[in-house]
Structure 1
Amino acid sequence: MLNINKLSASILAFELKRLFHGAATKVSLLVFIISGLLAIYLGANSYKALRIDQVKSAIVFKKEREHIQQREQLPEMGSLAYYAHSPTAWQLSPWTALFVGQSQNNLVAMKVNALALQGQIYNKELINPSKHRTGGFDLGFILAYMLPILIGVLSVNLLSEERQSGRWRLLSAFANHSAKKLIWRALLQRFVLVSLIISLLFISSAVLLSLPFDGMFFTFLALSLTYTAFWFFVAALIMSLNKSSLYNSLAFIASWLVIAVLIPGFIHLGLSSQFTNAEPLKASTTQRLVLNDGWDQDKQAALEKFVQDYPQYREKIAYEADFHWKWYYAMQQLSDLSVAENWNTYIAEQQQKQSWLTRLSVLSPSLLFQMQLNKLAGSDTQAHSAYIDSVRQYHQQIREFIYPYLFNDTPVTSEDIDTFPLFAEQISIEKPQILPASTPLSDYAWLVLLGLTCVLAGVSRQRFNKLRVS
Structure 2
Amino acid sequence: MTLVKSRPLSALSLIVRHEARILVRDRTLPLVCCLLALMVGYGLFVGLAQATLRERMVAQVLKHEQETQTANTGTLESVLAGRSALVPFSNPANPAALAGTLAGRFATIPNAPLAAMAIGQSDMMPNYYRISYLSKVQFMYDTEIENPWNLLSGHFDLSFVIVFVLPLLVTTLGYNLLSAEREHGTLRMLCSQPLSVATLLTGKIIVRMLALLAIAIPLPLIVLLLIRPETRGAEQLLLMLSWSALITAYTLFWFAVAALVNATGLSSSTNALIMVALWTTFVLILPVTMNLVVGLVSPAPSRTELASRTRVATAESLREFENLYSADYRYASDPEALLVKGERIEVPSRMRAFFLAKQSVDEKIEPLLQAFDRQLLQQQRLVDRLSLLSPAILVNEALNLISGTDTRRFVAFKDQTEAFHDEWRQYFSPRILESRAMTAQDLSSLPQWHWNEISASETRWSIWRRTALMLALAFMVGGVALARSSRGSAGF
Q: Are 2:375 and 1:349 equivalent residues in the alignment?
A: yes
166, 188, 210: which one pairs with 1:192?
210
- Residue of structure 1 in register with 2:177 after alignment: 158
CA drift at 1:292:
4.5
Q: Are 2:101 and 1:97 equivalent residues in the alignment?
A: no
Structure 2: distance between partners of 1:379 and 1:205: 17
CA drift at 1:24:
5.8
CA drift at 1:9:
7.9
Moved more, 258-267 or 286-295: 286-295
- Per the alignment, in what secondary structure is the counterpart of residue 178 of structure 2? helix
Q: Which amino acid in 2 is paired with 1:256?
A: W
Q: Percent identity?
A: 20
Structure 2: distance between partners of 1:346 and 1:47: 28
Q: Which runs of 5+ in 1 are unaligned?
A: 303-319
40, 45, 48: which one pairs with 1:44?
48
- 1:195-214 mapped onto 2 (5 Å cutoff): 195-201=213-219, 202-210=221-229, 211-212=231-232, 214=237
Q: Is the 8 A contact 1:148 1:256 kept in 2?
A: yes
Moved more, 137-146 or 387-396: 137-146
Q: Is the 8 A contact 1:376 1:431 kept in 2?
A: no
- Residue of structure 2 in register with 1:270 after alignment: 293
- Residue of structure 2 in register with 1:317 after alignment: none
- Per the alignment, in what secondary structure is the counterpart of residue 194 of structure 2? coil
- Residue of structure 1 in register with 2:404 after alignment: 378
CA 1:46–1:429 in 2, change beyond 3 Å: closer, same or farther? Answer: farther
Q: Are 2:141 and 1:143 equivalent residues in the alignment?
A: no
Deviations 1:336-386, CA, capped at 9 Å, x for gaps: 111111111111111111111110111111111111221233322221111
Deviations 1:162-210, CA, capped at 9 Å, x for gaps: 1122221222233342x55333211111111112112223333333333
Q: Is the 8 A contact 1:90 1:108 kept in 2?
A: yes
Structure 2: distance between partners of 1:424 and 1:150: 44
- Residue of structure 2 in register with 1:241 after alignment: 264
- Residue of structure 1 in register with 2:274 after alignment: 251
Q: Is the 8 A contact 1:92 1:428 kept in 2?
A: no
Moved more, 377-386 or 99-108: 99-108
CA 1:20–1:110 in 2, change beyond 3 Å: closer, same or farther? Answer: farther
- Residue of structure 2 in register with 1:305 after alignment: none
- Residue of structure 1 in register with 2:393 after alignment: 367
Q: Which amino acid in 2 is paired with 1:117?
A: K
- Residue of structure 1 in register with 2:106 after alignment: 87
- 1:318-329 mapped onto 2 (5 Å cutoff): 323-329=349-355
Structure 1: distance between partners of 2:12 and 2:409: 53
Q: Which amino acid in 2 is paired with 1:339?
A: I
Structure 1: distance between partners of 2:68 and 2:269: 67
Structure 2: distance between partners of 1:54 and 1:105: 16
RMSD: 3.0
- Per the alignment, in what secondary structure is the counterpart of residue 338 of structure 1? helix
- Residue of structure 1 in register with 2:483 after alignment: 462
Structure 1: distance between partners of 2:36 and 2:146: 32
Q: Is the 8 A contact 2:324 2:349 kept in 1?
A: no
Structure 2: distance between partners of 1:197 and 1:297: 66
Q: Are 2:60 and 1:56 equivalent residues in the alignment?
A: yes
Q: Which amino acid in 2 is paired with 1:387?
A: F
- Residue of structure 2 in register with 1:312 after alignment: none
- 1:241-320 mapped onto 2 (5 Å cutoff): 241-292=264-315, 294-299=317-322
- Residue of structure 1 in register with 2:33 after alignment: 29
Structure 2: distance between partners of 1:428 and 1:353: 20
CA 1:53–1:237 in 2, change beyond 3 Å: closer, same or farther? Answer: same
Structure 2: distance between partners of 1:9 and 1:183: 12
TM-score, normalisation: structure 1: 0.86
- Per the alignment, in what secondary structure is the counterpart of residue 446 of structure 2? coil
Q: Are 2:132 and 1:107 equivalent residues in the alignment?
A: no
Structure 1: distance between partners of 2:454 and 2:60: 21
CA drift at 1:294:
3.3
CA drift at 1:297:
4.6
Structure 2: distance between partners of 1:321 and 1:418: 21
Deviations 1:96-119, CA, capped at 9 Å, x for gaps: 221222212761112221111111
CA drift at 1:448:
1.3
Structure 1: distance between partners of 2:12 and 2:275: 29
TM-score, normalisation: structure 2: 0.82
- Residue of structure 2 in register with 1:316 after alignment: none
Q: Which amino acid in 2 is paired with 1:82?
A: G
Structure 2: distance between partners of 1:180 and 1:148: 22
- Residue of structure 1 in register with 2:87 after alignment: none
Q: Is the 8 A contact 2:100 2:134 kept in 1?
A: yes
Q: Which amino acid in 1 is paired with 2:285?
A: L
Deviations 1:242-275, CA, capped at 9 Å, x for gaps: 1100110011111111111111110112212333
Q: Which amino acid in 2 is paired with 1:270?
A: V
Q: Is the 8 A contact 1:29 1:150 kept in 2?
A: no
Q: Are 2:22 and 1:18 equivalent residues in the alignment?
A: yes
Moved more, 351-360 or 443-452: 443-452
Q: Which runs of 5+ in 2 are unaligned?
A: 80-90, 326-345
Q: Is the 8 A contact 1:44 1:209 kept in 2?
A: no
